[in-house]
Chain A
Amino acid sequence: MTTTNPSVITDEMRAIVGVEGAPATLEVERTNCRMFARSVGHADPIFYDVDAAKAAGYRDIVASPGFLGTPIFNPNRPPAGPAEMSGRGYSIPYKRVLNGGTEYEYFPENDVICAGDTITVRGKIAGFEETTGSIGPMLITKRETTYTNQDGKVVAKMYGTTIQY
C-alpha cells in the first residue's frame, strides 16, 4: 500500500524479517489448564478432570482453545509479554501499540496439547507493512510463532498482528 508518509521501516528491521528469535519454554500444567478454562467459562470436563479427559481419548487434561502453556517465571529476567505483542525492540517514532489480532492454527494430527507437556516456542517476524488508517500512519508487524512439544511435534502456530501508531 502506498503512503505519503516517510517509511519507518529501517534496514535493521528488514534484516530481522524471517529470523527466528531465541527459543523459550512454556509449561502446560493441570492447574494452569483449569485456571485458563475457568477464566473463559468453559464447561467441558476434558478441560478440568483427568478421568474425563482420558475417557475422551486424551493423555491428560486438555489445554482449552487459546492456552498454549505458561512461561517459566524468572525474577532476574523481565517477564515476556504475550507473544503476539512482542518484537518491538527496535526504534520507531510511534508510541502507541495495539494488538491487531491473533490466529492460532492447531495440528491435532501431530498431537493435542495436554497437561504435562513442555512446549518450545520459536518466534519470528514474518513481515512489516505500513498503511494509513483513521488513527493516522501505522506500522503493522506480522509475527509467526511455532509451538513444538517435548516429542518434537509441532502442535500449534500463532499468527499475530501488532499495530503501532
Chain B
Amino acid sequence: MSQVFFEDVAEGLEIPELKKNCSTQQLVLWAAGSGDFYQIHYDKDFAQGTGLPGLIVHGALKHAFLGQLVHDWMGPKGELRKFGCSYRGMDYPNEDIRCRGVVTKKYTENGKNFVELDIWTENPAGKKTSPGTATVALPSKN
C-alpha cells in the first residue's frame, strides 16, 4: 500500500473509488462476521414476506465498505479517527455499489494533520444510498 501525505491532499480531491458487488454468499459471510442474523439479508422468502422486493445488503456492511475505502486510501501511516454514514436507500446483491470519497477540509490541530472527507456508497442509478463523513490524520513529508 502506498502512503498518502498531508501535503498531497487538497480540498476537492476525489480519492480512489472502491467498487463492491455483493454475492449472497458475501451477505452470509457478513452475517457471521458481524453477528447480524436478520433474515432479510439471506432468506428471500422472509425478505419478501416483510414487503421487500428481495434480499437487501446490510447497512452496516456498507458502513464497513466505507471504512475499507478510507483505510485503503490513507495508507499504513494514516489514522482513521472517525467514519460514519446514514442509511438513505437500499442496495441489493449482485448490483454494483460504488464507494467514493471527496476531501472537504484539511487542517492542523495540536501538531496533527487532519483531513475530512465526504464519503458515500452509490447505487447503479447514481443515488447516494449511504452518505457520510470521515476524519483521518495523515503524516507530513516534513
Chain A interface (Cβ within 8 Å of chain B)? 32, 35-44, 46, 56, 64-67, 70-71, 79, 82, 98-106, 108, 159, 161
With A38-B29, A42-B68, A65-B67 as given contacts, are A70 and B35 in contact (CB-CB < 8 Å)? yes
Query: Is A36's CB under 8 angstroms from B67's CB?
Result: no
A43-B72, A64-B68, A103-B133 are known; give 6 further A-B pairs, CB within 8 A.
Answer: A39-B32, A40-B67, A66-B63, A66-B67, A102-B85, A103-B83
User: Whole-angstrom distance from the CB of B49 to the nearest CB of chain A?
Assistant: 14
Q: What number of B residues sit within 8 Å (CB to CB) of A? A: 34
Return the chain B residue nearest A99 by Cβ.
B59
Q: CA A71 – CA B37 in complex, angstroms? A: 14
Min Cβ gap A114→B in Å is: 14
B interface residues (Cβ-Cβ under 8 A, vs A): 1, 20, 26, 29-30, 32-36, 59-61, 63-65, 67-68, 70-72, 76, 79-87, 132-133, 137
Q: Could you tell me the distance in whole angstroms from the C-beta of A27 to the nearest C-beta in chain B?
A: 12
Closest to A36 in B: B33
Q: How many A-B residue pairs have CB under 8 A?
A: 98
Check A103–B132 contact: CB distance below 8 A: yes
Residue pair A102, B71 in contact (C-beta under 8 Å): no
| Complex: chain A residue closest to B35, CB-CB | A70
**Does B83 lie within 8 Å of A64, measured CB to CB?**
no
Residue of A nearest to B63 (CB): A102
Asked if B81 and A108 sit within 8 Å, CB to CB, the answer is yes
Across the interface, which residues of A come within 8 angstroms of B71, CB to CB?
Answer: 42, 44, 64-65
State A161–B67 Cα separation when bound (angstroms). 18
> In the bound complex, how far is the Cα of B64 from the Cα of A40, in angstroms?
7
A-B contact pairs, 8 of them (CB 8 A): A39-B30, A40-B64, A44-B1, A66-B63, A100-B86, A100-B87, A102-B85, A108-B81
